[in-house]
Amino acid sequence: MELLLATLVLGIVQGAVNALLGAGIVAVYRGTGVINFAHGAMAMTSTYVFVTLVDHGAPSFLGIPSAAVVAVLVGIGLGVAVDVAVMRPLARQSALVRIIATLGVLYVLQSLAIIAFGGATRSVPQIFPAGGHAIGPVDISNNEIGILLVAVLLALALTLFYRRTRFGTAIRAVASSRDAATLVGIRVKWVTAASWAVGGATGAVAGILVAPSLGLNSYILTLLVIQAFAAALTGRLENLALALAGGLGLGVVTAIASTYLSQWLAAHPLSWVNIGNVGNGIAFLWIIALLLVWRRPATTMARAHGSVL
């Protein structure tokens, strides 16, 4: 029972990470209709800025590390730069072309990170105080508690922003039709830039929070986009509450699978089995299952319509 509880806590924390990164994917998609596969690489870039500033002794103000503030601002600037330099010239192209462009951004950021920072995995200081709390027989660190709270609060704040503000309404309008939004006086360029800025900021926050437990190199955060995409897809790339639930569910399933597969392999040694990337494998299966579930109602309706005719 103690192992199961510890596994559930680990899964919930990992799920909160998925939800944090997924929120950035949702933010960009809701404002632009683009699935940003470079989101993890953007988070990685901002996190490298954070680590570099910390290593150079950046101070804290009122308990808030200035390095974290600057890293989030870099994430915002990076998001706007991607919008201005890459997405606006492709605004009239198909969604597929723009998605492929995000893969190009991923490759560029990853290559620049290797050139600037090397390929070694670096340790990252956590911004929450050291220590933790006991929940029954399970100890949970302040960093893990912080990740979960930030994920929930961010999902709530963005949901209220999209539903309760005029700018949130403008974002939905632009995502539905850029031309129609322009006709009613919405500044489309401002809206898309803001969406990319929110995506960059949430990516930076996620990277800063998760890197202390995972380490930082040019691949770790970049590849987390697979699990983040699975979380975002749970909410159909629009519903942040469902994306949060999807991220938590995916994290729990992954943690349980990793823990009990490890135990089974320890009892039945199979040297050729590597479960290091089981999280990405489960995320792919999660994505496939979601696509199949979404397709089924449409297929059923089409068949019913055909039978009536």
pLDDT tens for each residue of 179-236: 777 777 778 888 889 999 999 999 999 999 888 888 898 888 888 888 889 999 998 8
Question: Reduced to 3 states, what is the DSSP secondary structure of residue 36?
Answer: coil
Question: What is the value of pTM for the model shown?
Answer: 0.84
pLDDT digits (tens, 9 = 90+) for 71-93: 999 999 999 999 999 999 998 88
Arithmetic mean of pLDDT, 60-78? 88
132-135 and 60-61 beta bridge pairing: unpaired
Pairing of strands 132-135, 64-65: unpaired
pLDDT higher than 70, residue 11: yes
Beta strand pairing status for 138-141 and 132-135? antiparallel
Q: Which comes out higher in pLDDT, residue 203 or 60?
A: 203
HEC secondary structure over 48-117 = HHHHHHHHCCCCEECCEEHHHHHHHHHHHHHHHHHHHHHHCCCCCCCHHHHHHHHHHHHHHHHHHHHHHH
Which pLDDT band, with edges at 50, 70 and 90, does 104 fall under? Answer: very high
Least confident of 4-18, 20-34, 41-55: 4-18
Tokens, residue 90? 């492709």
Distance CA 54, CA 48 (A): 10
pLDDT category at 59 given cuts 50, 70, 90 is confident
- Reduced DSSP (H G I as helix, E B as strand, rest coil) percent helix, strand, coil of the chain, to 5: 75, 5, 20
Give the model confidence (pLDDT) of 155-191 as tens digits: 888 888 888 888 888 887 777 677 777 777 778 888 8
- Is CATH 1.10.357 what the domain over 2-308 is classified as, yes or no? no
pLDDT of amino acid 266:
63
Listed by start position, the domains of the chain span 2-308
Which string of b and e fits 210-228 if b means at least 16 CB within 10 Å? bbbbeebbbbbbbbbbbbb
For a pLDDT cut of 90, what percent of the chain falls above it?
24
Better pLDDT: 274 or 200: 200
